[in-house]
């Protein structure tokens, strides 16, 4: 029994069922503190002042401190097997592969009483908790008797440790799954990034003031778009909140797509967003060290050279089939590595792959590619290198070397988190905490830089700054104030919930910002405009200086000309009746005495001013322009979406959903 007082802090909307259950069974007494903000990682605080954070880290502590002898396995091999289940259970028992995972577990448990060895381990608690945490989804399968071995194991664990497990599940699991309990304490609103009315903020796990280092790592293969802006601003927020460092690092590992133009404009966009950084670095700064690491992993047998054709390799990874090259000798691999580095014909047929686990349910761990050949010159280092690291290989390496403490990544990379940590482990580098946030998706919008580049290259838009583009420069050109963009993004916070956002919400925020200060001008459509002659109007035009905005003096003044002949919109003229009293904005009332038409089309109105009339009594309030020589002609452009479908599914081609109004630029 562990007697040191410990406190488990976690978000109320995501209680760590596996930790709470494991602590109950292990005899580890913990004080429950569900006060962390949504998105935060569970943290275990000790009375000594020390703490540890992260679900798996806490579970390993509980397993070692447990009164149950088999909780962390009976030997080193079993301990390693327990670690595997800790990493993979949350991945395989969530999302679209849930039933496939259940089928795998059913087969695995056909001849086993426990997941590891011959006694209950933390692995059993993790898998049991993840199944329970899905609520009705698992209960439906459980009742169907479809997976009899899995259900037998599940019921056995529940029977042997029913008192502890029942207490946990009744408190934290509802019909819809973990965190969906009808208990009021579990229905609090997800907190935003900024302080809300309760004064709470989003926390970085284990973050200490003055010791946090985050990085914003764009690839210089396009301009920043609204999705990148979210990542940049979240990194800025955490760096400022914890008085830490913010690194801007260009992930320049693909010379075929990158250029100095993109580097320059990304830096321009970062400045526009008001993001203050400490230093700008490039992954290419670390190419020599990355190559040394790749060679070191080859020598250790943790990586190998593969010449399997690309499509065949993809198929083998999906099916869990090992490459014929997987068991090549170190000498054979080093020889081919030399060919790759030198860019020989033989070398260009090869790639470097990590030797991880081809049977892992998480396909990102099935021997990912670390290095590829590319003959294209690099925008910074020219033709010095013939091989380039993949993002999956370079990112964890450079994060660790640059002192990054927390790597912010969008939740679309969730399945790759285990890969990130495994690669760091194989490299022998320190752990960098991953902190996830939801990707920003907008209706009728593509955010893939590859797709945006297609619009540019095919001249369907002017360039990357086109006002129809979701790039920072595009939406600013369209009239968006950066303050509105920042507010829009910060209102979403660091939530992991995937949302499809409406552009209208962003423009509504923008309107509130520009409304008090923007210039206002009156315009009438030139085509089909209608002349209103005021019989008692001024004989000579005169000018009055009026406020541009009736509520905000800061909007300034405007000069308005008053005359006895004024232009109205045809749409307004078409709803006026003879004898009706209308209000002319900024002037007063007028009574329409005659409506002239030609073949059903209104051509002219005749009326007289009735300035003593009450504007409260009229139905129509009309904008107008005096018929004078110095009216300014202008063109108004109405921007539509580039695609005509609100949300594109992953398997849909955006080219099949182009807006017919999207035209090729001359």
Nearest alpha carbon to residue 278 among 371, 183, 353, 214: 214
DSSP state of 31: E
* pLDDT-based confidence at residue 572 (cuts at 50, 70, 90): very high
The CA distance from 424 to 217, in Å, is: 18
**β-bridge pairing 499-501 and 440-442:** parallel
Give yes or no for residue 325 having a pLDDT over 90. Answer: yes
pLDDT of residue 23: 87
What confidence tier does 191 reach under pLDDT thresholds 50, 70, 90? very low
Q: Which pLDDT belongs to residue 12?
A: 79
The β-bridge relationship of strands 625-626 and 565-568 is antiparallel
pLDDT tens track for 56-83: 888 888 888 876 677 888 888 888 888 8
Say if residue 31's pLDDT is above 90.
Answer: no
Q: What is the arithmetic mean of pLDDT over 319-347?
A: 96
Tell me: the pLDDT tens digits for 488-540?
887 776 666 667 888 999 999 999 888 887 877 889 998 889 999 999 999 99
The least confident of 224-238, 601-615, 650-664 is: 650-664
pLDDT of residue 664: 59
Tokens describing residue 604: 């002219």
Whether 192 shows a pLDDT value over 70: the answer reads: no
Distance in Å from the first CA to the final CA of the chain: 77
Q: Which comes out higher in pLDDT, residue 33 or 336?
A: 336
Confidence of residue 471 (pLDDT cuts 50, 70, 90): very high
Say what the pLDDT of residue 70 is.
76
The pLDDT of residue 175: 45
Out of 219, 258, 433, 581, which one is annotated catalytic?
A: 219
Task: Report the alpha-carbon distance of residue 364 to residue 421 in Å, rounded.
Answer: 12
Question: Could you confirm whether 544 is annotated as catalytic?
Answer: no
Mean pLDDT of 5-32: 85
Mean pLDDT of 357-369: 95
Give the mean pLDDT of 390-417: 94
Q: Is the pLDDT of residue 303 over 70?
A: yes
User: pLDDT per residue over 126-150, tens digit each?
Assistant: 898 888 888 778 888 888 778 888 9
The separation between CA 561 and the C-alpha centre of its own chain, rounded to angstroms, equals 51
Taking CA atoms, 375 is separated from 262, 388, 453, in Å, by 20, 10, 22
Structure tokens at 47: 């009375």
Alpha carbons 223 and 208: distance in angstroms, whole number: 33
Is-catalytic flag, 219? yes
Of 279 and 636, which is predicted with more confidence? 279
Give the model's pLDDT for residue 200. Answer: 36
Q: Which of 84-88, 89-93, 243-247 has the lowest mean pLDDT?
A: 89-93
* Among 142, 299, 439, 558, the one annotated catalytic: 439
Is the pLDDT higher at 521 or at 404?
404
Task: Respond yes or no: is residue 449 known to be catalytic.
Answer: yes
Q: Which residues contact 467 (CB under 8 A, 6 or more apart)?
A: 474, 475, 477, 478, 637, 639
Instruction: Give the span between the Cα atoms of 469 and 281, in whole angstroms.
Output: 28
Q: Report whether pLDDT(193) > 70.
A: no
Active-site residue, selected from the candidate residues 317, 409, 422, 449: 449
Q: Is 493 left (phi over 0), alpha (psi -120 to 50) or beta?
A: left
Please give the pLDDT value at position 359: 94
How much is the CA Rg of the chain, to the nearest whole Å?
32
Contact 659, 641 (CB under 8 A): yes
The upper half-sphere exposure of residue 644, i.e. CA atoms within 13 Å in the direction of its Cβ, equals 8
Paired tokens of 488: 């829009």
pLDDT tens profile 579-620 = 999 999 999 999 999 999 999 999 999 999 999 999 999 999
For the chain, count helices (H), then strands (E).
20, 26
Across 405-415, average pLDDT: 90
Separation of alpha carbons 476 and 456, rounded Å = 18
Q: Return the H-helix or E-strand segment holding 622.
A: strand 621-622
The first and second tokens of residue 305, run together, are 């050279």
Report percent pLDDT > 90 for the chain: 51
Q: Which SS3 state, helix, strand or coil, does residue 221 take? A: coil
């Amino acid at each position: 029994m562990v007697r040191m007082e410990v406190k488990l802090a976690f978000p109320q909307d995501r209680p760590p069922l596996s930790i709470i259950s494991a602590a109950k069974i292990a005899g580890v007494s913990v004080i429950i503190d569900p006060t962390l903000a949504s998105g935060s990682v569970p943290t275990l605080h000790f009375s000594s002042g020390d703490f540890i954070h992260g679900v798996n880290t806490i579970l390993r502590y509980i397993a070692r401190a447990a009164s149950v002898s088999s909780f962390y396995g009976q030997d080193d091999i079993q301990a390693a097997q327990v670690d595997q289940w800790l990493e993979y259970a949350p991945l395989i028992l969530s999302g679209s592969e849930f039933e496939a995972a259940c089928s795998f577990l059913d087969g695995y448990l056909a001849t086993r009483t426990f997941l590891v060895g011959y006694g209950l381990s933390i692995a059993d608690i993790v898998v049991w908790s993840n199944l329970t945490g899905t609520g009705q989804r698992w209960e439906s399968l459980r009742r169907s008797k479809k997976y009899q071995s899995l259900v037998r194991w599940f019921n056995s664990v529940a029977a042997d440790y029913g008192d502890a497990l029942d207490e946990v599940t009744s408190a934290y699991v509802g019909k819809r799954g973990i965190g969906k309990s009808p208990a009021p304490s579990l229905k609090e609103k997800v907190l935003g990034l900024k302080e809300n009315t309760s004064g709470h903020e989003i926390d970085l796990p284990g973050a200490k003031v003055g010791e946090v280092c985050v990085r914003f790592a764009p690839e210089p293969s396009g301009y920043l778009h609204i999705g990148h802006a979210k990542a940049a601003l979240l990194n800025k927020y955490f760096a400022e909140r914890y008085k830490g460092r913010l690194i801007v690092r260009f992930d320049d590992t693909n010379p075929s797509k990158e250029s100095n133009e993109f580097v320059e404009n990304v830096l321009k966009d970062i400045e526009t967003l008001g993001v203050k950084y400490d230093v700008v670095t490039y992954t290419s700064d670390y190419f020599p060290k990355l190559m040394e690491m790749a060679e070191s992993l080859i020598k250790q047998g943790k990586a190998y050279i593969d010449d399997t054709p690309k499509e065949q390799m993809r198929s083998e990874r999906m099916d869990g089939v090992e490459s014929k090259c997987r068991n090549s000798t170190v000498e054979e691999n080093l020889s081919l590595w030399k060919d790759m580095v030198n860019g020989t014909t033989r070398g260009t047929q090869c790639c470097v792959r990590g030797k991880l686990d081809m049977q892992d349910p998480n396909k990102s761990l099935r021997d990912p590619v670390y290095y590829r050949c590319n003959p294209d010159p690099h925008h910074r280092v020219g033709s010095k290198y013939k091989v380039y690291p993949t993002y999956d290989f370079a990112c964890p390496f450079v994060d660790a070397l640059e002192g990054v403490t927390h790597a912010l990544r969008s939740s679309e990379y969730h399945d790759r988190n285990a890969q990130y940590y495994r690669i760091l482990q194989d490299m022998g580098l320190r752990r960098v905490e991953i902190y996830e946030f939801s990707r920003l998706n907008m209706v009728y919008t593509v955010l893939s830089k590859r797709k945006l580049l297609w619009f540019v290259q095919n001249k369907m838009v002017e360039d990357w700054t086109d006002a129809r583009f979701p790039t920072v420069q595009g939406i600013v050109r369209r009239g968006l104030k950066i303050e509105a963009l920042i507010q829009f993004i910060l209102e979403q916070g660091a939530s992991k919930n995937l949302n499809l956002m409406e552009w209208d919400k962003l423009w509504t925020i923008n309107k509130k910002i520009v409304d008090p200060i923007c210039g206002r001008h009156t315009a009438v459509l030139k085509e089909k405009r209608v002349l209103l002659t005021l019989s008692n109007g001024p004989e000579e035009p005169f000018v009055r200086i009026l406020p541009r905005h009736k509520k905000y003096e800061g909007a300034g003044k405007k000069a308005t000309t008053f005359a006895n002949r004024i232009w109205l919109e045809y749409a307004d003229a078409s709803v006026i009746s003879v004898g009706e009293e209308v209000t002319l904005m900024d002037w007063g009332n007028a009574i329409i005495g005659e409506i002239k038409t030609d073949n059903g089309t209104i051509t002219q109105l005749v009326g007289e001013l009735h300035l003593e009339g009450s504007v409260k009594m009229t139905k129509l309030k009309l904008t107008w322009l005096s018929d004078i020589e110095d009216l300014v002609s202008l063109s108004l452009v109405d921007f539509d979406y580039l695609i005509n479908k609100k949300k594109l599914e992953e398997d849909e081609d955006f080219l099949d959903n182009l807006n017919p109004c999207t035209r090729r630029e001359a």
